[in-house]
Structure 1
Amino acid sequence: MAIVTGGGTGVGQATALKLAALGYRLVINYSRSRTDAEATAAEITAAGGQVRCLQADIASDDDCRRLADTAMQAFGRIDVLVNCAGTTDFIPFPQLEQVSTETWLRLYQVNVVGAFQCTRAVVEPMRQSGGGCVINVSSVAAQLGQGSSIPYCCSKAALDNLTVSLARTLAPQIRVNGIAPGFIAGRWTQNGLGERYENIRQAYERSLPLQQVCQPADIADGIISLITGSRLVTGQTLVVDGGMLIAGYQVKFD
């Protein structure tokens, strides 16, 4: 049984569909994207899968615990948690005065504290089920210091540290790993970048060693590999970026 936060859109949606195809029963969490989450659940149900949708704000510890309780009530166990829900503000790096304290706190509350709270909520159910696996969806922004905003990059770096800290703390019953996507094509990035989106996407594709930006399904494949692959992998963050980290090329977001 798997919980996918942010499971109605983008990488979360792609991951939920792939887990369902492997036979996992699912709880799909969403914050605002109810229509997308319900459409994803309908697709899983039509294919013979079992799924529940639940609105929850992972910035709230009570909501995270309610998410875990719902999964246990519906399916009696929790084996996998994918912490995919996240948020950002698109703020060009040089525009320091546009970065508010509220932005820092909100991004950390969702991207870092939320992942911690969701993980804490599933620890005992996973142990009762004999063990489990947690995947934190990070970003190459954590290592590049390049992305939608400075607070976003910092929050993802903190998430990478959380992955290591939790992997050490929860072993041996629970493995904790991360995945760090590069530029992901799709609605979320397009909405954030606006009219700059297409030029930036093309610039990345020209510069990347594999000459392709990520699609949500590419990241979902990486997540699945961490769940179903070697049982001796923990505390690691897998980079899926088309070679962005080794390219030595930066696309300016300003």
Structure 2
Amino acid sequence: MTDMQGRKALVTGSATGLGRSMAVKLAERGADVIVNYTRSSTEAEEAADLCRAAGAEVKVVQADVSTTEGARALAAAAQGWGRLDMLVNNAGITRHARDHADLDALGRDDFLDVYAVNVVGPYLTLQAAKPLLVAAHADTGRAASVLNTSSIAGVKGVGSSVAYAASKGALNTMTLSLARALAPAIRVNAICPGFIGTRWFRDAMDEAGYAEKEAQVAATTPLHVASGPDDIADAALFFLSDAARHVTGETLLVDAGMHLGRAR
């Protein structure tokens, strides 16, 4: 499919994991892509090479989305295109404190750090990119698409920490607010993954612990699978494509049924 031929996309946090998968899939469907990273230029260039192999024009930008300067740097990279058809606010962080009853596990700075990236970051990036998104609508007559990567944590109040769950709940609410405020030029939606087999989970445990976690997820989700980044990215592309041209203000759980509870 090349239904996104010539469209311009920015995917934050796209050096690895879900962000990389979304960037590559956009490139495979014809879009040009800005790959964003904060730390690893090597991984960002690997992601960029995969996008280039699909025929995309790629720009690689190091930027911290939690800062005004970082958000503006990302928008500046798209300025040469004159428009931005798609913005994926994917960059995110957490603080691991899985016992939500342990209120001493997190402090003020933990909350502020998580909110800075997971909530303020998408707002600043959209703020900086808004003129380019509006320009895309003016040029094409098609609403530009913003997609926020949220989480089942923001719907169910579960996950790596209270701070993370709260930040994703805030992101879901912001998705609603901005979808209403920015229409008709810009559509704003969110996806809410459950478990994704990426470094996000691997970094929080050793290899044996990760393998056990993945097996446990596959055994207990209603669909009996543990999702990988490509599984979530396929759902993300629906929101970014013309198939969702009449969809805005929606949050979609993409979690193999995890929100339903344990499989029978």
TM-score bracket for this pair, using the shorter chain length = over 0.9
Q: Which residue of 207, 221, 243 corresponds with 2:234?
A: 221
Q: Distance in 2 between matches of 1:159 and 1:175?
A: 15
Q: After TM superposition, which residue ranges in structure 1, 4 or more long, deviate above 6 angstroms?
A: none
The answer to whether the aligner puts 1:8 opposite 2:20 as a matched pair is no
Correspondence for 1:181: 193
Secondary structure of the 1:129 match is helix
User: Matched residue of 1:192: which SS?
Assistant: coil
Please state how far the C-alpha of 1:248 moved relative to its aligned partner: 4.8
* Deviation of 1:196 (Å): 2.9
- Output aligned runs, 1:21-60, within 5 Å: 21-60=28-67
Identity over aligned pairs, percent: 40
Give the aligned partner of residue 110 of structure 1.
117
Q: Does 1:99 align with 2:106?
A: yes
2:159 aligns with 147
Superposed displacement of residue 198, structure 1: 2.2
Structure 1 residue runs of 5 or longer lacking an equivalent are: 250-254
CA RMSD of superposed structures (Å): 1.3
Q: Structure 1 residues 190-199 or 16-25, which shifts more?
A: 190-199
In structure 2, the residue matched to 1:244 is: 258
Assess if the C-alpha contact under 8 Å between 1:59 and 1:113 holds in 2. Answer: yes
* TM-superposition CA deviations, 1:203-249 (whole Å, max 9, x none): 22111110012100011101101111231100001110000011257
Deviations 1:165-210 (A, max 9, x none): 1100100110000000011112221111335322222222111110
Aligned twin of 1:167: 179
Could you tell me which runs of 5 or more consecutive residues in structure 2 were left unpaired when the two chains were aligned: 1-7, 138-142
What does the per-residue CA deviation read over 1:143-186, in whole Å, with 9 as the maximum and x for residues that have no partner? 22111111000000000001001100100110000000011112
Does 2:150 align with 1:138? yes
Contact 2:82 2:135 in 1 (8 A): no
Whether 2:219 is the aligned partner of 1:212: answer no
Structure 2 letter corresponding to 1:148: S
Give the TM-score taking structure 1 as reference length.
0.94
Partner of 2:93: 87
Q: Deviations over 1:6-63 (max 9, x none)?
A: 0110000000000001111111111112111101111222332210100000010121
Distance in 1 (alpha carbons) for counterparts of 2:83 and 2:244:
22
Q: How does 1:72-83 map to 2 (within 5 A)?
A: 72-73=79-80, 75-83=81-89
Q: CA–CA distance in 2 between the matches of 1:89 and 1:7?
A: 20
Residue aligning to 1:234: 248
Q: Which moved more, 1:61-70 or 1:170-179?
A: 61-70
Paired residue type of 2:247: V
The one-letter amino acid paired with 1:85 is A
Deviates more, 1:223-232 or 1:87-96: 87-96
Q: Give the SS at the match of 2:94.
A: coil
Is the 2:221–2:262 contact (alpha carbons within 8 Å) kept by the matching residues of 1?
A: no
2:140 is aligned to: none
Q: Is the 8 A contact 1:2 1:79 kept in 2?
A: yes
Q: Secondary structure at the match of 1:52?
A: strand
Matched, 1:200 2:200: no
